[in-house]
């Protein structure tokens, strides 16, 4: 059981309405956050980010300011725990390797490239009940307290994906926070809500390719790509990634000249979305010169 009072720290962090509004704006952007904050998971991710990751004008986090403000009046054990959390906390995606119910979970941290034994009785017990295999992934914050890695912050966010070793290596050193993970809970706007229906409709492939090329040029300027879109198109044409799509994204980053030290979550998302569209709307030799979209829509039309 943790000794630090999380709710008290959140109250401390939200006491100034102007700073709170600034933090909400930074976390949600231009999205209407009122309905989103009704989701306990989104609220929890925001509170965690506010406490651990939001930097004030001073450059300090609220957790650090709380520690400095109250360390003279709190019990020594609480102060030591908070200091340990400040010094060692890390938020990253973890790939599950094993689980001992009621004791700990062994997981690989994709940012650090290290394996952790994460001690939490409730988490390991619940995890052991879930119908999931090893190597599935969850996002969570851990910190080392009394020589043991323990869980702090909001509830875990699971994604049912097992990443390849090559993709894990690519993700090493890439920072992620609850701010990026919260996007998984945002509801799409009305014109995007039926993605499955939209996917079944035939798209003007020539027009779509022009849109992709225009988007590529915008991203080239934003992220300083050195490679041309033709390199990715040729990679797709001769694709050999039927069982390992993550390697396609890795090779795309290399062809665009994005070195590992410049790979942020934003760049990975932008390149991932772009490469996925190129994959879906440009020809593959394996599909006899057609794109997956053309093949899928023709099969759907024939079936109806």
Q: Which residues pair with 94 in a beta bridge?
A: 109, 138
Structural tokens at position 281: 């709307």
Describe the chain by its helix, strand, coil percentages, rounded to 5. Answer: 55, 15, 30
pLDDT at 161: 67
Q: Is 100 helix (H, G, I), strand (E, B) or coil?
A: strand
At residue 59, what are phi and psi to the nearest 5 degrees? 85, 0
Low-confidence residues in the chain, pLDDT < 50 = 189-201, 242-243, 299-304
What pTM value is reported for the model?
0.65
Pairing of strands 104-109, 137-145: unpaired
Q: Is 176 helix (H, G, I), strand (E, B) or coil?
A: coil
At residue 85, what are phi and psi to the nearest 5 degrees? -65, -45
The domain locations on the chain are 6-86, 89-170, 191-303
DSSP, res 284: B
pLDDT at 299: 47
pLDDT at 202: 55
Q: Residues in the chain, how many?
A: 304
pLDDT at 271: 86
Q: Provide the Cα torsion 14, 18, 19, 20; round to 10°.
A: 50
Q: Each residue of 196-238: pLDDT tens digit?
A: 334 334 568 889 999 999 999 999 999 999 999 999 999 888 8
At residue 154, what are phi and psi to the nearest 5 degrees? -80, 180
Q: Is 214 exposed, middle or buried (0-12, 13-18, 19+ CB in 10 A)?
A: exposed
Contact 140, 156 (CB under 8 A): yes
The rounded distance, in Å, linking the Cα atoms of 61 and 124 is: 30
pLDDT at 45: 96
* Closest residue by Cα to residue 100 from 71, 121, 130, 74: 121
Structural tokens at position 202: 């035939």
What CATH fold (topology level) applies to the domain 89-170? Answer: OB fold (Dihydrolipoamide Acetyltransferase, E2P) (2.40.50)
Residue 94 to residues 135, 146, 164, 237, Cα–Cα distance (Å): 9, 21, 13, 33
């Amino acid at each position: 059981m943790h000794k630090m009072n999380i709710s008290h720290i959140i109250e401390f962090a939200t006491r100034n309405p102007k700073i709170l509004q600034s933090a909400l704006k930074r976390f949600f952007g231009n999205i209407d956050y009122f309905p989103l904050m009704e989701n306990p998971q989104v609220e929890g991710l925001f509170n965690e980010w506010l406490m651990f990751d939001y930097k004030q004008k001073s450059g300090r986090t609220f957790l650090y300011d709380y520690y400095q403000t109250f360390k003279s009046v709190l019990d020594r054990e609480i102060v030591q725990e908070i200091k340990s959390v400040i010094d060692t906390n890390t938020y990253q995606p973890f790939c599950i390797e094993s689980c001992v119910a009621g004791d700990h979970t062994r997981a690989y941290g994709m940012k650090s490239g290290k394996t952790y034994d994460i001690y939490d009785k409730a988490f390991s017990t619940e995890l052991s009940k879930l119908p999931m295999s090893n190597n599935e992934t969850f996002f969570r914050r851990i910190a080392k307290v009394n020589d043991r890695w323990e869980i702090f912050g909001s509830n875990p966010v699971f994604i049912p994906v097992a990443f390849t070793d090559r993709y894990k290596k690519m993700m090493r050193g890439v920072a992620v926070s609850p701010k990026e993970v919260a996007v998984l809970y945002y509801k799409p706007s009305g014109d995007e809500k039926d993605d499955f229906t939209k996917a079944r409709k035939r798209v003007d492939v020539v027009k779509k390719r022009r849109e992709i090329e225009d988007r590529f040029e915008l991203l080239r300027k934003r992220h300083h790509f050195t490679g041309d879109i033709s390199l990715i198109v040729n990679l797709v044409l001769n694709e050999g990634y039927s069982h390992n799509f993550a390697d396609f994204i890795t090779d795309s980053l290399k062809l665009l000249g994005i070195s590992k030290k410049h790979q942020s979550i934003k760049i990975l998302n932008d390149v991932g979305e772009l490469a996925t569209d190129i994959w879906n709307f440009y020809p593959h030799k394996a599909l006899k010169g057609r794109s997956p979209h053309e093949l899928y829509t023709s099969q759907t039309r024939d079936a109806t």
